[in-house]
Amino acid sequence: MGRKVLEGIVVSDKMDKTVVVRVERVFRHPLFGKTVKKSKKFMAHDEGNQCQMGDRVRIEETRPLSRHKRWRVVEILEREERVAHDTASDHGGSGR
């Protein structure tokens, strides 16, 4: 039996060699038939600290690496575009 593979978006990269990945799943409600979206967060091992917030990644199930980590980042599918912005213009430009 193969390892489980999921795709999700990095929501936190503040830890060393660890990222938090939000994985969404879509299914139909069994009684009402409405399409429902649910998400779950997984901690995944990122050996090279390459992932950044907003990146779409593929994670794979692995042996327990710590108390909460049982997944590792296999590849980065899509990078989040970074936009540099001026902080003074965000606050009205007065700088006070």
> Does residue 31 lie in a domain region?
yes
Q: Which residue in the block uniquely carries the two structure tokens 């950044």? A: 52
Say how far apart CA 41 and CA 39 lie, in whole Å: 7
pLDDT one-digit tens code per residue, 15-52: 999 999 999 999 999 999 999 999 999 999 999 999 99
- Band (87; pLDDT cuts 50, 70, 90): low
The verdict on residue 90 lying in a domain is: no
Task: Count how many domains the chain has.
Answer: 1
Can you give the CATH number for the domain in which 40 is found?
Answer: 2.40.50.140
The residue segments making up the domain with residue 65 are 5-82
| Chain center to CA of 49 | 13
Examine residue 88 and state whether it is found in any structural domain, yes or no. Answer: no
pTM of the model: 0.80
